Amino acid sequence: MSSPTRTYTVAGMTCAHCVSSVTSEVAKVPGVVDVDVELSTGALRISTDRPVDDAAVKGAVEEAGYELVSP
């Protein structure tokens, strides 16, 4: 059985370090088991092993210094 996935859009990323920062912070959210960030589109895809609150993902993105503009 595959893990549920969610896709968001992150604004403000301009380089590989930005991607690394977002990936690192979002990976700390309880329930997140995989994180994929695409710099060119701002797409943030997460796989989870349990329900994850959008507010927790938003907080992690903001902690990294960026803005979550959509779930």
Instruction: Give the residue with greater pLDDT, 67 vs 3.
Output: 67
Residue 69 CA to chain centroid, in angstroms? Answer: 11
Q: What per-residue confidence (pLDDT) applies to 70?
A: 82
Query: Do residues 47 and 3 make contact, with C-beta atoms less than 8 angstroms apart?
Result: yes
The predicted-structure confidence for 22-57, as pLDDT tens digits, reads as follows 999 999 999 999 999 999 999 999 999 999 999 999
Q: What per-residue confidence (pLDDT) applies to 44?
A: 98
- Structural domains present in the chain: 5-70 (3.30.70.100)
Res 2 pLDDT > 70: no
Res 1 pLDDT > 90: no
